[in-house]
Amino acid sequence: MIIKYKDYILLFLLLVSFCNCTGKKNTQIEVCNTCEVISLNSSSEKGLTDMFDSINIIPLETTEESLIGLDINKLEVYGNRIYVLNESYSHKNILCFSPQGKFLFRIDRIGNGPGEYIDLFDFFVDKSRNQLLLLNENNMVSYYDLDGNFLYSKKKPEDTYTRQLVYTNDSTYFGYNDAETSPEGNNLFNFEAQNFAVRTVSNELKEPLGDLATRPLAIYNENIWFYNNTDEIIYNITNLNTLEKVYLLNINKETRKIKRHIIYRNIANSDEKMEVFLNEFYKNEKIKIINSFYINEKWIVFTFINSKSNRSICKTALFYNKDKQETTYSPDIDVFNAFNLSDCEIIGSDDNGYLYILLRMDLADENRMKKIQKSNLSEKDIFLNVKTDDNPILLKVK
């Protein structure tokens, strides 16, 4: 998906965060002989129905209050409700939809008062207490009931500051050192959800792990996973005392050297030097910066940003089938013989193994719309009835 001008800020923040992670110069390339290698070469073109046995098409209701903005940063499914962290053009909010896509409510409280926020980093569903937990920019956790009513807020200690956390069923947070804001030695940590007492810290990964615009943590069946952009390894960090290297992204040595050079480059905060830095990023078209990833029993899915020589950037998804050890890129996935998944974003997964894909329809593509019209797809009216300002369509697949 070609990212519009307003998405430029995402790339800018992502690249700045890479530069500011550390001033150390480290060009060593990590080797993992025990890891399962994930190839970045797409195996072949596939149909969506060939990859997934269950495909649900969910049109998200469009109202003034429910408009999807630039991005969906996170999705949670619980109690016959779909909750999403929506990044609009001016701020972030929480939107809630029914399983059929009907809009139910939103949490949109901008300010500095009780239950209010300036920016939202993350949110969770506390299944044991039936509450929504919102993590905001000043290290505050705000608690809401499942209908969006504010309950109370609690301040977290500074040594647990991070922009992404995962939340387990035993009320434990897992986090990572976010741009060196945590104390030295706390590169990975977990802590108790109610009193915020730190339980375990790990410094096995020696380098600061902060990424301003990425979401390197994933959870499935109470296993916690961490994608480390400095060595391209996915770790199982469920036991912080023994980190397990499990998967390695097979980026060729030259591309990895270029990427690590960018990550470890210490850029001064000047427009001139930043322009030089961005030019280098655009010039190296093979560089892929992981924006988020999801994992379940069958799939590992990445959403990444890569550059184009014409100074545009693309968001693409990579699907890795763990059983077949096959890789398929979203533009190579045919949807009902009408279009491919090039206009999609992977926005979440659930405990039942479903993946959630946000599909933004390109209504200007007349050829695509004609193919949909001629198809035998029973739900084709959902696609044909989409209007220019309507919300994207949600695909739930397994």
Q: Where are the alpha helices (DSSP H) in the chain?
A: 8-20, 48-51, 253-264, 271-283, 366-374, 380-384
**Per-residue pLDDT reduced to its tens digit, 168-191:** 988 899 988 765 554 554 588 899
> pLDDT over 70 for what percent of the chain?
76
> What pTM did the predictor assign?
0.85
What pLDDT is stored for residue 367 in this prediction? 79
Q: What is the pLDDT of residue 372?
A: 83
What is residue 383's predicted lDDT score, i.e. its pLDDT? Answer: 83
Asked if pLDDT for residue 232 goes beyond 80, the answer is yes
| Placement of tokens 């405990």 in the chain | 351
Render 164-217 in DSSP notation, one character per residue: --EE-TTSEEEEE--TT-SPTT-SEEEEETTT--EEEEE-SS-S----SS-B-E
Q: What is the pLDDT of residues 347-358, one digit of tens each?
A: 999 989 999 999
The pLDDT assigned to 286 comes to 59
Supply the pLDDT for residue 313: 62
Using alpha carbons, select from 338, 333, 334 the residue that is nearest to residue 375: 338
- Mean pLDDT over 92-116 rounds to 92
Other CB atoms within 10 A of residue 224 CB: 20
pLDDT-above-90 percentage for the chain:
34
Bridge-based pairing state of the strands 46-47 and 333-335: parallel
For residue 208, what are its two tokens?
């600061």
DSSP code of residue 30: P
Q: What are phi and psi of 145, to 5 degrees?
A: -80, 175
Band (30; pLDDT cuts 50, 70, 90): low
Distances (CA, A) of 37 to 204, 221, 260, 264, 331: 21, 22, 19, 24, 22
Q: Domains in the chain and their CATH numbers?
A: 5-397 (2.120.10)
User: What pLDDT is stored for residue 369 in this prediction?
Assistant: 79
List pLDDT tens digits, range 286-336: 566 778 889 999 999 988 776 665 555 667 889 999 999 999 988 889 887
pLDDT tens sequence across 34-67:
999 998 887 778 889 899 999 999 999 999 999 9
- Residue 20: pLDDT band (50, 70, 90) is very low
The tens digit of pLDDT for each residue in 252-286 reads 665 666 555 555 554 444 556 556 666 666 666 55
Q: Report the pLDDT value the prediction gives residue 310, as an integer from 0 to 100.
A: 58
- Predicted local confidence at residue 7, as pLDDT: 47
Please tell me the least confidently modeled range out of 105-109, 160-164, 271-275, 304-308. Answer: 271-275
Least confident of 2-11, 176-185, 190-199: 2-11
Average pLDDT over residues 360-389: 80
Maximum C-alpha span of the chain? 60
Of 22-26, 225-229, 233-237, 385-389, give the lowest mean pLDDT range. 22-26
